[in-house]
Structure 1
Amino acid sequence: MSSLLGFPNPVNEKAARTVAAVVAVTGAVILVTGWLWLLVPLAYGFVARVLTGPRLSPLGTVAMKVIAPRLGEPRLSPGPPKRFAQGIGAVLTTAAAIGGLALGWTTFALVLTGVLVVFATLESALGFCAGCYVFGHLMRLGVIPEETCAACNDIRLRQPA
């Protein structure tokens, strides 16, 4: 069971950005069509990626094993900030799915989906991970212990965008 759970460290940025692109497009489809049922597979994907990395996420698996290898050499970044960002996505999509589908709060669900689309687009198009940015600030404030991500504080391990 412990081999199933876990998150990759480091993470291939190319796979992460591929996942973000599909999330952004799916979110845009939800906003245009109102198909709130699509929030369920989105929420599942985020929860699966937080718990197991790409192992139980069909999108994560395809991004890591099929698409990213075709985009050239991997571009690695620390895993803990990406996992934190996936956790934020899990909270947003789960809240949107429950709010929109179970409680009938359509506007609430669409607003959360819009927020998700904005941040997934920033990640996929520009490589800016807002959750990673928040993670870094929480580390600097001491909310997240430094040992959670030693590589996050080592500027020599950072790769150029």
Structure 2
Amino acid sequence: MYRLVARLWRIIHGPLQWRVMWIAQAKFMIGVTGVVRDDAGRVLLLRHRMWPEGRQWGLPTGYAVKGEELGATVVREVREETGLDVETGPLVRLKSGYRLRIEVAYEATLLGGDLRIDPFEILEAGWFSPDDLPDGLQGSHRALILGTDATGG
């Protein structure tokens, strides 16, 4: 039986193999977060309109689009939500185990731009010292900022 399956697999090589793998494998959305810091070490936090009441403060976050490099997702999301330009740095979290989502987080550095929030998604934005983070900050985002739990778990 195994030999037959292996032989069939070799016969259908190339695009047909990819099609079979696509159908057989799980599909995931990729949530990408940026831990954006300025020259003073402060971190950019946003109060998100769509997040649960009492837990609306968090880092710039969004979903990767098909074909997008994950670091570029941080750059795009920060620009869309705040008008700021950033450069991504090291990967600080890669976590799976959610039903349909994989989470990725990068450190990022402010390059410039003028802070202007997207009023559809963001209620307010501010720069905060890691020693003075606002109430209502997502716990996993607090851990990313403080570097206390690289897995986010």
Normalising by the residue count of structure 1, what TM-score does the alignment of the two structures yield?
A: 0.27
Higher helix share: 1
Q: Point out the structure with max Rg over C-alpha.
A: 2
Higher strand share: 2
Normalising by the residue count of structure 2, what TM-score does the alignment of the two structures yield?
A: 0.28
